[in-house]
Structure formats: structure tokens, C-alpha cells
Amino acid sequence: MALVSTKQILEEARKIGYGVGAYNVNNMEQIQAIMAAAKETQSPVIIQASRGALKYSNFTYLGYLMKAAVIENPDIPVAMHLDHGNSLESVVKAINLGFSSVMIDGSLLEDGKTVSTYDYNVKVTRSVVEYAHARGVSVEAEIGTLGGIEDGVGSEKMHLTDPKEAKRFVFETGIDSLAIAIGTSHGAYKFKGSVNLAFNILKEIRLLIDIPIVLHGASSVPKELSDEVNKYGGKISGATGVPISNLQEAIKLGVSKINVDTDGRLAITAAIRKVFMESPEKFDPRDYLGPARTALTSLIVAKMKDFGTSGHAKDYSPISLEDMKKQYVSR
Ligand SMILES: [Zn+2]
């Protein structure tokens, strides 16, 4: 079993300077697709579930499917990560399901929409760190807010991370990785006009903090994919994402974890639409979910190569959560 914490995956990535994608999952085909890509490219991988995804699948189903990914791929370091936990309660639920890593997003209140205060963020994050570390589970938190809404999470107001506040936050909470806001957004419509990421802020943060940095809302939304969706009857216009060259620049400047959800959704939708349009006589779900799975694998294989993750699955031996727990206690 190579279930590991995100802390280990990201710290190993930082040593060499590559990025690791964290790919959102809702169902079996997505999980299988991502794991097939990880196996093909020999990449460590973070599979992450949002609260919305866990609710959709009634928690247990998705939890067990993610565990199956770990069991089926003993040679691949896999982290099971909760995306945008909103309270200690949501984190406890994920850890009870076997997650090795959690995010607590205290930049927003529990409703996942209202921007919170710094003090609230510190308080909720500290309570999660205490609970998670006692179980060997690593914690990601966020400071600053992204634009856009996805899975019901997001204030739509963008508030770029203040580097000095980030430094204080890391010190006061003891988190393992920090999600920052430098201009990315959740969803498929990230930029009106040209892409504009605040690399100067990223550079400043990197100088001030010494833990892995996370970029949310980092799908590239390639035009070929939205064109493909539209070609088969979809209606997506004006969608823009973060070009891969910007992500590679961000990795060079110290970003270790890159969250990708939208691109996977587009790849799946394009593949399913294609089958429906070209073969309207088909009605076996495997006839369209199968091609969707294949399309997603190709997308993730490309990401793993672009982020530099490929080939690093066997660089290190996995640290069990039990051993992580000891490391945290002795700190
Ligand atoms: Zn996010």
C-alpha cells in the first residue's frame, strides 16, 4: 500500500523542483483514468474529493473507490485528499473515511461563500492541524481568496494573498502546505481579457515561507477541448484558463501542488458528447463512460509530463501515516 500524506509527496517534489497535479474525482471512471495516467507515466499522484463530490457519492462510495486506487497501484505514491474542507467536522469525516490529507479553507466561512477574517482562519485551521497531525494526516490551508465558484465554493471576490500575512499564518497554524491567491479562479472562465498572474507576489511568498505552495483554479481550459465540446453540441463560449507555460513558470517559482478539475470535466464531456452525436443508437453506459475514461487518461498523462511529475513514482519509499504521526509528535 502506498497511501501517503500530501506532505511527503510535495516535499519530495520540492527537493527536485517538479509540480504534482491534484485531480478532482467524483466517480469510478475518473479515479481509474487518473490512476492509469499515473501508472503509465510513473507519477506520484494526489486524488482529491470536494465536499460536493463526497456528498454526491454518499461519502462511503467515493471513499472506497479512492481506497481501491491505492490498493490497485501499490507502486504509486497516492494521497487521498479532501478539497476545501469547511469545518473541523468535515475534516473529521474525511479522515474517518481514510483520507491521508485534508484542506481546511478558513479563508471563507463555513458556508463556503462568505470571506472570513484572518483570526477566524487561524482558529479553524489550528483546530484542524491539531486533529489531523495527531493521525499522521497532512493539512493544506488557504490565505487570500480566489475568483470564481466551483462546487458551490468561492466568494467570487478575488483577494490576492498578502505575503507578510502568509508568513504569519504559516507560523501561527503549523500547516504543511499553503494555497495562495495570485489571480487564478475556480471554474472554466478564469480571465476576462489576458491571463494575468501575480508572479511577483508568488516570488515574495516563496522568500518568506518554507512549505509547499498550492495553486487552486489552475486548469488550462485548452481551446481544443472547449471547441471539441462545442463541436458535438455543447455550448461553452469564452472559457479561458491558465496556459501550461504559466504553470511551468509557477512551478519554477515554487508552486508544488496544482489543482485541476475543470480540464477533466471538459475532456469527459467532449468524449461523451462525441459518442452521443456519432452513435445515437448506443445506450450502454460503458459505451460512453469508457471513451470518457480514455480521454481523461490522455489529458492527465499530458499534465503529468508538463508538470514534470512523470518518472518520479519510485524516487522515494512511502512513509505510512503511522510514521508521519510520530514525526509530527516529535516536532
Ligand atoms: Zn480550490
The predicted model gives 115-144 an average pLDDT of 97
The CA 252 to ligand 1 mean position distance, Å, reads: 21
CB-count burial class (<10 Å; 0-12, 13-18, 19+) for 291? middle
Expressed in angstroms and rounded, the spacing between residue 61 Cα and the centre of ligand 1 is 22
pLDDT of amino acid 303: 98
With bands split at pLDDT 50, 70 and 90, how would you rate the model's confidence at 193?
confident
Determine the distance separating the centroid of ligand 1 and the alpha carbon of 25, expressed in angstroms.
Answer: 13
Residue 299 and residue 311: Cα distance in Å, rounded? 17
Residues, CB-to-ion distance under 5 Å, ligand 1: 216
Cα dist. 117→63, 71, 123, 146 in Å?
Answer: 32, 41, 10, 15
Centre of ligand 1 to C-alpha 212, Å, is 16
283 CA to middle of ligand 1, Å?
34
Structural domain boundaries of the chain? 6-319
CA separation for the pair 20, 8 (Å, rounded): 12
Which neighbouring-strand residues pair with 47? Answer: 23, 80
Catalytic residue positions, numbered:
83
**What is the residue whose three cell numbers read 495527531?**
134
CATH 3.30.70.3040 for domain 6-319: no
Contact in structure between 309 and 21 (CB atoms under 8 Å): yes
pLDDT at 1 over 70: no
Mean pLDDT of 82-88: 97
- 84 alpha carbon to ligand 1 midpoint, in Å? 6
| Per-residue pLDDT reduced to its tens digit, 271-291 | 999 999 999 999 999 999 999
